[in-house]
Amino acid sequence: MKYAVVYYSETGNTQKVAEAIYDALPLGEKMLYQIKDLQTAPEADVYFVGFSIRNNTCGIETMNFLDQIEGGKVALFATCGFYPADGYREQLEHRLFVWLPERAKYLGMFLCQGRIQDAQADRIKQNMPKAEKQLIEMFIEGQGHPDEADMMAAKEFSEKIQKNAAEETISGMNPFYC
């Protein structure tokens, strides 16, 4: 099976997760790319597509990449400044469905917290002034992420997706988060 791990990373958080997913793939036909370095989507059987959360969705770079996928299977992974609580992940996943290619099978999503840039944290606090105390606590917690536990969870996600893709037993969403 041919795998492509493709990601867009602004702070390095998503790149760390991409590398953990890539490392968990079997030797052979596997590729690791930054979206900004690609002109077109590489051919693969399984795509792991990663990004940081922006405005409760993925960025335009990721949207454009997803639109290029002609078939195969797609698993998403993302880093975010917020705690990856069940409700947040589910809302995010549903917003992302619109960007998934109809020609591909969706395998699931991995979500983990990451550190957030100061300017972005300031914007979020301005938009949510009543939650400033909780946001500050969350942003402080995020400074240590993705951590070693997140990397292990990303590798487990990669292994789960590989197994599902190989067995062709995909049934709906397979969420995975740390």
Confidence (pLDDT) at 83: 62
**Taking Cα atoms as reference points, which of 33, 22, 25 lies closest to residue 1?**
25
Confidence (pLDDT) at 174: 46
149 vs 139: CA distance, rounded Å = 18
pTM score, two decimals?
0.82
Profile the chain (178 residues) by mean pLDDT over runs of 10 residues: 95 93 93 95 96 86 92 91 71 86 89 73 70 68 76 95 76 45
Q: Report the Cα 154 to chain-centroid distance in Å.
A: 10
Helices (H) then strands (E): counts for the chain: 6, 6
Confidence (pLDDT) at 172: 44
DSSP β-ladder status, 30-34 and 46-52 = unpaired
Confidence (pLDDT) at 177: 45
Confidence (pLDDT) at 144: 66
Q: Report the Cα 138 to chain-centroid distance in Å.
A: 19
